[in-house]
Amino acid sequence: MKDLVEYLAKAVVDHPQSIRVDERRGREGLVYYIETHPEDKGRIIGRQGRVIESIRTVVRSYAKGRVNVEVR
């Protein structure tokens, strides 16, 4: 799953070598944190959060469970 999040994030940004994904367990399930180059943060989030919401939708449907994706 971590590889899927990393793949989707790298496809969107200008500096794919700076993408780092951390996986942590929380009370509500798995949480994936995407860390990226400061210039690419807006690309990951997208206009009105559309890109990050799309990434979350793909990951949640693939995982079939309680999974969240956050941007740092």
The residue extents of the domains of the chain are 2-71
Residues 6 or more apart in contact with residue 4 via CB below 8 angstroms? 58, 59, 62
- Distance from C-alpha of 66 to C-alpha of 60, rounded to nearest angstrom: 7
pLDDT in tens, 7-24: 999 999 999 999 999 999
Q: Is 21 exposed, middle or buried (0-12, 13-18, 19+ CB in 10 A)?
A: buried
Residue 13 C-alpha from the chain's centroid: 12
**Which one-letter DSSP state was computed for residue 38?**
G
**Is the whole model's pTM more than 0.75, yes or no?**
yes
For the chain, give the mean pLDDT: 94
What pLDDT does residue 60 have? 92
Q: Is the pLDDT of residue 27 over 90?
A: no
User: 2-71 — its CATH code?
Assistant: 3.30.300.20
What pLDDT does residue 65 have? 79
Residues of the chain with pLDDT > 70: what percent?
Answer: 100
